[in-house]
Structure 1
Amino acid sequence: MDETSAGPGAVRLVHDDDRDRYEAFEGDEAVGVLYYGDETPDTGTSAVRDLRSTVVAPERSGRGIGSALVRFALDDARERGYRVRATCWFARGILSRPEHADLRADPADDEGSRA
């Protein structure tokens, strides 16, 4: 499991590779999760990590936990050499930013992600 902290007094971010998800904790309480799935193309290109669903506890909404989870997942994918697709609307919004262009599995998805 990979782990980082989002800052002083903030959530602890954990990559649970065995369960295909990233988690955000405040103390021992899980307050957010980002589910993903990996695909290995037959073409010999980089594996693709599909960010499928971002969920944050309703009482923690609006505090940046979801954004922190997605950024953590994108940094992890970059380190591992993965390309990224986001079927999750929330993650897609962050992935469509110019600073993540190098990660996108299909750069043509940029236009459709702004709907």
Structure 2
Amino acid sequence: MDETSAGPGAVRLVHDDDRDRYEALEDTETVGVLYYGDEAPESGTGTVRDLRSTVVAPERSGRGIGSALVRFALDDARGRGYRVRATCWFARGILSGPEYADLREESADDEGGRA
């Protein structure tokens, strides 16, 4: 299980590979989850991780937990050499930034045509 933390009392980010998700924990309470699925790529060049759904507890909304989860997942995918697609609208917004351009898996629809 991969993990990162920002110090005492902070949200701890954990990759639960067995359950295909990333979690944000405050102490032992799960306050956010990012679900994903790994897929065979259209281009045949390696694994594509699809970021499917980001959920944060309503009482924790607006604290940057969702953004931290997505960035943690993107950094993990980069470390594994994966390409990334985001079907989750929230994750797609972060993935579209220039710092993650190298990870994006472009579909035929994204390129303006069909394969």
Fold shared per TM-score above 0.5: yes
Task: For residue 54 of structure 1, report the CA deviation from its aligned partner.
Answer: 0.1
Report percent identity of matched pairs.
84
Moved over 2 A (4+): 6-9, 41-44, 107-111
CA contact 2:11–2:25 (8 Å) conserved in 1 = yes
Helix, strand or coil for the counterpart of 1:55? strand
Consecutive unaligned residues in structure 1, runs of 5 or more: none
Match of 1:95 in 2: 95
CA contact 1:23–1:33 (8 Å) conserved in 2 = yes
Question: 2:61 matched to 1:61?
Answer: yes
Task: For residue 40 of structure 1, report the CA deviation from its aligned partner.
Answer: 1.7
How many residues end up aligned between the 2 structures? 111
Deviates more, 1:46-55 or 1:33-42: 33-42
Helix, strand or coil for the counterpart of 2:9? coil
* One-letter amino acid matched to 1:6: A
What is the TM-score normalised by the length of structure 2? 0.89
Work out the CA distance in 2 between the residues paired with 1:37 and 1:54: 13
Consecutive unaligned residues in structure 2, runs of 5 or more: none
Match of 1:22 in 2: 22
CA contact 1:6–1:68 (8 Å) conserved in 2 = no
Task: For residue 55 of structure 1, report the CA deviation from its aligned partner.
Answer: 0.1
* One-letter amino acid matched to 1:55: V
Which residues of 2 match residues 64-79 of structure 1 at below 5 A?
64-79=64-79
Match of 1:46 in 2: 46
Radius of gyration: which is bigger? Answer: 2
Task: For residue 66 of structure 1, report the CA deviation from its aligned partner.
Answer: 0.1
What is the TM-score normalised by the length of structure 1? 0.89
